[in-house]
């Protein structure tokens, strides 16, 4: 047989329980303060790591430049390299209409340049041969991140030749297939 359980009054139970809560709340508050201190140290180390990683990235970006240049020269020897690349890229190809593809046959080189501090963004330069669509030899698109991390961009204004503005496609000049494509993807790659 088991011994009978000791009887504890409700008052005793509440007084013990209340004391435990006070200690518990105090311990919880101290733990929260310590968590905050530890998190501050983690944040400080993360910031330090980011600064060091940035320096390494900058160093290696400079070291990569001659290889990027050599690669670009080799790509230039392959006919229609860039239009083929864009047409076969899952996301970029979704932006291409038939006329966009025609214009991209004149694209000879693409260069990506990260801004000096790397964190604030980059610029893409598209180099074109003389073409029937626009006067520009280089089209640039810059992507910026401000200190709060909000993105913005700006682009070269395209100097379209008369009647060749691909951002204002005329439905009369498109065949059925490209109209269907236009319906699905209303904007031009050049937009």
Reported as a single tens digit per residue, the pLDDT across 120-154 is 889 999 999 999 999 999 999 999 988 777 899 99
Q: In the chain, where does DSSP find H-type helix?
A: 10-75, 81-87, 90-93, 98-104, 176-184
Burial 73-93 (b: 16+ CB within 10 A, else e): eeeeeeeebbbebbeeeeeee
Q: Are 111 and 72 in contact (CB under 8 A)?
A: yes
More confident residue, 17 or 58: 58
CA 97 to CA 111: how far, in whole Å? 23
Q: Determine the pLDDT at residue 115.
A: 86
**pTM for this prediction:** 0.69
pLDDT digits (tens, 9 = 90+) for 154-181: 999 999 999 999 998 644 344 444 444 4
In the predicted structure, residue 8 carries a pLDDT above the cut 70: no
Cα end-to-end distance, the chain, whole Å: 87
CA 190 to CA 50: how far, in whole Å? 35
Report the candidate in 152, 116, 123 with the shortest Cα–Cα distance to residue 139: 123
Percent of the chain exceeding pLDDT 70 equals 79
- Comparing 62-71, 112-121, 125-134, 176-185, the range with the smallest average pLDDT is 176-185
């Amino acid at each position: 047989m088991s011994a009978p359980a000791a009887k504890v009054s409700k008052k005793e139970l509440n007084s013990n329980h209340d004391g435990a809560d006070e200690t518990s709340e105090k311990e919880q508050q101290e733990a929260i303060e310590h968590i905050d201190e530890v998190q501050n140290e983690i944040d400080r180390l993360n910031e330090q790591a980011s600064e060091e990683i940035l320096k390494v990235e900058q160093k290696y970006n400079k070291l990569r430049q001659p290889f990027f240049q050599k690669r670009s020269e080799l790509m230039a020897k392959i006919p229609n390299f860039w239009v083929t690349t864009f047409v076969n890229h899952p996301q970029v190809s979704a932006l291409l209409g038939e006329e966009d593809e025609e214009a991209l046959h004149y694209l000879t080189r693409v260069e990506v340049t990260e801004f000096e501090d790397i964190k604030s963004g980059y610029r893409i330069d598209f180099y074109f041969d003389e073409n029937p669509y626009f006067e520009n030899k280089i089209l640039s698109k810059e992507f910026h991140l401000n200190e709060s991390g909000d993105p913005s961009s700006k682009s070269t204004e395209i100097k379209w030749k008369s009647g060749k503005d691909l951002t204002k496609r005329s439905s009369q000049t498109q065949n059925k297939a490209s109209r269907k494509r236009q319906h699905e993807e209303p904007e031009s790659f050049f937009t």
